[in-house]
Amino acid sequence: MDLQAAVEQMPFYGNLNNEEKRLIGNSVNVRHYRKGDVLHSHLSECLGLIQLQSGSVRVTMQSAEGREITIYTLQEGDRDVLSASCVINQITFDTMMIADTDTDVLVIPAPVVGILDHSNIYVHSDLMELSALRFSDAMWTMQQILFLRMDQRVAVFLLDEYSRTDNPEIAATQDRIARSISSAREVTSRVLGRMEKDGLIETRRGTIRLLDIDALEALLG
């Protein structure tokens, strides 16, 4: 993996001075996580700015009673800064990051992020824009939970996966879908069963094939 090439693709890199580039170059690293590993929580170390090199990560929030809500999912190439909350004062809520699959993550450590955030206006602007983007993702999820029917939430998940992969064969178990839309597996299973009966999808072990994309989109009005 070419770490330097990955870092140079970040929006702010061209506006770093030589000292700042050396600082990142000497500290950037890649961490590997197995499926189910916790990358970040309020009890763990403050990671910093991360970029997924491979795999998938769920970003969740938990209630005091232990109920978990998936607020968004990160895929290969996505960046996130919520795990740098220890150095970015504007981030004021706790999240947990969980590897959905075996995952490789590029990390610019939190202390370096803190230095660059204070010394370079382009880095600061990028971090604020990235924070706003992830907050927008979280608000979209809250809107779905509050205002969409369960069949609509399942349809959103399936159509998002189709849009991301351009493949009507969605690799997803009922457990994964339930976690992603913050629902019970039994409820998700019933919705998928109705969709299959109506000819919208075909379920197989570990996959769901979209048969009528227009009808799925029509569910969303």
Of the candidates 110, 146, 131, the residue with the CA atom closest to the CA atom of residue 24: 110
The mean pLDDT value for 191-205 works out to 95
Would you state the pLDDT for residue 86? 74
Backbone angles phi, psi at 9, to 5 degrees: -80, -10
More confident residue, 56 or 94: 56
Which CATH number among 3.40.50.150, 2.50.20.10, 3.40.50.1100, 2.60.120.10 corresponds to the domain 3-146? 2.60.120.10
Indicate the domain borders of the chain: 3-146, 148-219
Question: Same CATH fold, 148-219 and 3-146?
Answer: no
Q: Residue 45 half-sphere exposure, CB side, CA atoms within 13 Å? A: 8
Model's pTM, two decimal places? 0.83
Residue type at 64? A
At the second CATH level, the architecture of 148-219 is: Orthogonal Bundle (1.10)
- 219 pLDDT higher than 80: yes
Residue 193: predicted pLDDT: 96
pLDDT at res. 113: 94
- With CA atoms as reference, report the closest residue to 79 among 106, 112, 99: 106
Q: Per the structure block, which two tokens stand in for 113? A: 């992020």
